[in-house]
Structure 1
Amino acid sequence: MGDSHAVDIESLARQLREELAAADAPAPRFASGCPILIAEVGEPTRNVDNHGDYDPHHVSVGPYHRIRNPHLARDDEKIRNLYDVMSASTAGATLEDYLGEVARLEGRARSCYAHTFEQHMDSAAFVRMLLLDACYVLVRFGRVADGHEQGVPHRRAEAPSVGCGDMMETVAVVRDVLYLAENQIPFFVVDTIHRLAVPDAGVSAADAIAGYVRELLWGQQYSVATPAAAEPGNLLHLLHVHFTPTPTAGSPPTTGGKVTGGKRPVGRWRTATEYHCAGVGFRARSLGGKGGARSILDVKLDGRGGALEIPRLNVDAETWRLLRNLMALEQSNPAAAGSRVTAYCVLVSQLACTPRDVELLSRRGVISHGLGGHGEVAERLAGLCRGVAFGADDPAGNYLHGTWLALEGRFQSRPRRWAAWLMLKYFSNPWLAVGLAAAALGLVCTVVQAVYSVLSYTPGGT
């Protein structure tokens, strides 16, 4: 047909055979001792808004953003942190000792990422990154080189200081290193460097950094929990274990994995104003103390089922970043991390999705914010869970399953809704209430007078 194009069949076949062989190779298995996968946030979730809640702005930790944004590596500072760790060492370990220990962990560390990065970082570059980033974490959060007693933080209301840089830098480091799902290294690397540097410290790296995390979360009033000691998968996972509801709070009764008391599928939560109009009240639940909440996830109905008790959510510019990255951790690790933070975020995103809802919850002390207005908070809360997958009908994954069923039953009850409507329309205004009571009293008096008038004309009446 006059076609002058030629195809080298043998070369193309050889290339495809190599690709087939690579595709047929067994997929890499995640090594034992690496329960938390450090994965990229999916594009459908990342592109929901343009707020950059998943990207660092000050410093990168781990390979994802070292490759994407090399200017955020801050290796000059991390080299100084390596010097600080080695200077604080009580075991006399050499630089070769540190590199050797990290090199033995390379394969295990690579298996903790959704990508191995072998095309972007050879062994030398990967081991160097792990060592520098681990030292950065230990100096910033582990108190290895600042002269403080490790693992014994002084609890106070404000965010704790790490002893280097001004407060703005401290906030930036916390935001980038503690809060971001992608900006992480496996925690066992940090723990290895810690044990090599200060083997006689008396506490592990997890204990030392957990003290900082507890102080931080207590100051922000997000959590006062003290989880059982266990090595986390990474720093964000260390935060995540502090966001655990009390087992009895909002837990539906289950039998054989099925919810008792109804088979109705869980739908959207109603808005706060809708529940309010149906007679459901809202109360702020205090953190800590006897019977108090352990974290903001401790949402429950009161004993009579007429009020939803919710720990106060202190909203600032970083609240969305923390919650969205905790959800991203759960999305990548459904078996290991569960979906409790996602369940909570679904609740608040649907409960407070309009300015009127935020205003109502603010008056009740459930939401506290210093942002521009209720509309800004409502807009961000409404978009909090966009792009997030969540199985609301699974009681094992939705700890608020029973709470939704109870509230929905109350909302669908017509007598309760009518009673709530009367209370809101007439008894919320004292003058209307007095007038209605007077009218009712006048009606009763009229009826009694009529009855006595009839009885006066009846034989045998008085």
Structure 2
Amino acid sequence: MGDSHAVDIPSLAQQLREELAAADAPPPRLPGGCPIVIAVVGELTRNVDPAEYVPHHVCIGPNHRSRSPPLARDDEKLRNLRDVMSVASAGVTLEDYLGEVARIEWQARSCYDRTFEQMSSADFVRMLLLDACYLLVRFGHIAGRRGNGGGAAGAAPSVGGGDMMEAVAVVRDALYLAENQIPFFVVDKVHRLTVPDAGVPATDAIAGYVRELLRGQQYSVATPVVAAPPGPGNLLHLLHMHLTPTALSPHTTGSRATGGKRQFGRWRTAAEYHCAGVGFRARPLGGIGGARSILDVKLNRRGSTLEIPRLNVDAETWRLLRNLMALEQSNPAAAGSHVTAYCVFVSQLACTPRDVELLSRRGVISHGLGGHDEVAGLLAGLCKGVAFRPDDPVGNYLHATWQAMEGRFRSRPRRWAAWLMLKYFTNPWLAVGLAAAAVGLLCTVVQAVYAVLSYTPAT
């Protein structure tokens, strides 16, 4: 009994039974649910470039508030609260705002993958109200302020006297970061209380800003229905809804070309496809037959040219794509994996400077960075730490396109024909020389045939 290594079996068994009962209990389900979980990015993904996932200008939500108090910007958010209340309907008080947000506090807490037990209900409600007002003023046409779209690094919202760098920083932190979010239904609740008879819900008001932002970047011209239930989970999810491929179903032509039996492998590089006779063409956004977003990659009818919407690369491209993938990693059922499928495609297609140079000449990639090698290096590491099932046609909307491309790449006659075209017919003098040699050979053969036919043996 005095042995320090003795184990109280009954007490330990009772402790484990209680833990098992708690683990087996279903999580509490709150009214309305959470369409999108706001999760912390996994370490394997974050370690590639931690700076791509943390705010540098403003904190939205609880994930980074305690880590960087200066980025809470409560003074600025308090001014935004005053702006929102100044346009509220008559009789709406601060107590009304706090009461409405307090009623959905636990529903909002359930939208995070952590509990934030260190934050009291009062602090959590205060944070949600101030952040919702900040987002409505910046992006939701509240208090007469609205972003103007466009810009090289992303359309910047009007920040009331702030400079362009601050405007870009607001977009980067409040729209692009997967961890730096609050549930959208909180923003909608504050919007409805402020302008109950406006006729335009918060989803449509902010979606208009997002649409202008993406059109300015030439990433999307889509107009998805965002007000229908369940609606966006947060602002990044709202942006994600504008980047859905036109056709998520497998491409029947590609399935026929290979029988749909070849297991998915990695994409070949652009240079490899080019040597196999595959052409590349920039697919325009919008218009009849045009793409709706950069994800609308397709083969032409002959299967000889891959049409890819132009990817305009700037300093924020990697942050946006990586956080969109992080959103999909945390919400595979609700968000799908089409952005991840696109990123896997482009990261393997253009992973060397030679590939980036080829695609730049074709107008598929446009960038103003230091050089093709810098773009290639960033693209090659875009999907590090990301989990993806490429052989699932439902999750990988480009599955059939890969099959068709692989079938063309493995076709020896096509590769030989492409080799001849690249080796001899790209240089006009070589082409003329080859044609002259072919004509000379043909004349020699014809002369030999006539000589044989005209020969009459002596009798």
TM-score, normalising length from structure 2? 0.92
Contact 1:85/1:197 (<8 A) preserved: yes
Cα distance change, pair 458–295 in 1 and its aligned pair in 2 (3 A)? farther
1:30-179 matches, within 5 Å, as 30-31=29-30, 32-47=32-47, 49-50=48-49, 52-117=51-116, 119-146=117-144, 159-164=155-160, 165-179=162-176
- Structure 1 gaps, min length 5: none
1:342-361 matches, within 5 Å, as 342-361=340-359
1:276-287 matches, within 5 Å, as 276-287=274-285
In the alignment, which of 289, 312, 316 is matched to residue 287 of structure 2? 289
> Is 2:364 aligned against 1:366?
yes
Contact 1:160/1:215 (<8 A) preserved: no
In the TM superposition, residue 28 of structure 1 has moved relative to its aligned partner by 2.3
2-side partners of 1:251 and 1:366: how far apart? 23
In the TM superposition, residue 67 of structure 1 has moved relative to its aligned partner by 2.4
Corresponding residue SS for 1:200: coil
Contact 2:98/2:125 (<8 A) preserved: yes
In the TM superposition, residue 34 of structure 1 has moved relative to its aligned partner by 1.3
Contact 1:349/1:383 (<8 A) preserved: yes
1-side partners of 2:257 and 2:25: how far apart? 40
- State the AA in 2 paired with 1:162: S
- State the AA in 1 paired with 2:301: G
Cα distance change, pair 452–258 in 1 and its aligned pair in 2 (3 A)? closer
Cα distance change, pair 94–8 in 1 and its aligned pair in 2 (3 A)? farther
Corresponding residue SS for 2:312: strand
Question: Which residue of structure 1 aligns with residue 232 of structure 2?
Answer: 232
Corresponding residue SS for 2:65: helix
Cα distance change, pair 14–88 in 1 and its aligned pair in 2 (3 A)? farther
In the TM superposition, residue 68 of structure 1 has moved relative to its aligned partner by 2.3
Question: Which residue of structure 1 aligns with residue 242 of structure 2?
Answer: 242
2-side partners of 1:290 and 1:91: how far apart? 48
Question: Which residue of structure 2 aligns with residue 457 of structure 1?
Answer: 455
1:367-446 matches, within 5 Å, as 367-446=365-444
Cα distance change, pair 361–329 in 1 and its aligned pair in 2 (3 A)? same
Range with bigger deviation, 257-266 or 404-413: 257-266
Cα distance change, pair 157–75 in 1 and its aligned pair in 2 (3 A)? closer
Identity of aligned residues (%): 73
Corresponding residue SS for 2:51: coil
In the TM superposition, residue 263 of structure 1 has moved relative to its aligned partner by 1.4
Cα distance change, pair 411–17 in 1 and its aligned pair in 2 (3 A)? closer
CA RMSD of aligned residues (A): 2.7
In the TM superposition, residue 188 of structure 1 has moved relative to its aligned partner by 0.4
- Structure 2 gaps, min length 5: none
In the alignment, which of 332, 335, 355 is matched to residue 337 of structure 1? 335
Alignment: residue pair count: 450
Question: Which residue of structure 1 aligns with residue 204 of structure 2?
Answer: 207
In the TM superposition, residue 458 of structure 1 has moved relative to its aligned partner by 3.6
Cα distance change, pair 458–91 in 1 and its aligned pair in 2 (3 A)? farther
In the TM superposition, residue 199 of structure 1 has moved relative to its aligned partner by 1.2
In the TM superposition, residue 21 of structure 1 has moved relative to its aligned partner by 7.4
Contact 2:188/2:202 (<8 A) preserved: yes
1-side partners of 2:337 and 2:354: how far apart? 28
Contact 2:44/2:385 (<8 A) preserved: yes
In the TM superposition, residue 7 of structure 1 has moved relative to its aligned partner by 8.8
Contact 2:226/2:238 (<8 A) preserved: no
TM-score, normalising length from structure 1? 0.91
2-side partners of 1:84 and 1:22: how far apart? 49
1-side partners of 2:151 and 2:49: how far apart? 32
In the TM superposition, residue 20 of structure 1 has moved relative to its aligned partner by 2.9
